[in-house]
Amino acid sequence: MSVYVDYAATTPFDKEILEEAVNNAENFGNPSSIHRIGKDAKADLQKHRKRIAECINAKPNEIILTSGATEANNLAIKGISEAHDKPHFITTDIEHASVRTTYQNLSEEYDVTFLSAKENGQIDAEELKSSLKDNTVLVSVMMVNNETGSMQPLYEIAETLKEHKALLHVDAVQGFGHMDIDVENIGADLLTLSGHKIYGPKGIGLLYLKEGIKLSAQITGGSHELSRRAGTENIMWVHAFSLAMEKAASERSKRTIKEMQMKERFLNELTEKKIPFEVNGDVNNQSSHIVNIYFRWTEAEFLLTALDMAGIYVSAGSACNAGTVQPSHVIQSMYNDEKRALQSIRFSFSHLMEEEDISEIVNQLEKIYNRLYEREMI
Catalytic (active-site) positions: 320
Q: What is the rounded CA–CA span in Å between residue 43 and residue 144?
A: 34
- In angstroms, the Cα distances linking 226 to 47, 61, 63, 214, 217 are 16, 8, 10, 12, 10
Q: What are the start-end ranges of the E strands in 2-81?
A: 3-4, 63-66
Element (H, E) at 203: none
Give the sign of the dihedral formed by CA 32, CA 193, CA 107, CA 136: positive
Residue 249 contacts by C-beta under 8 Å, 6 or more apart in sequence? 55, 176, 177
- Answer whether 21's CB lies under 8 Å from 360's CB: no
Residue 185 contacts by C-beta under 8 Å, 6 or more apart in sequence? 57
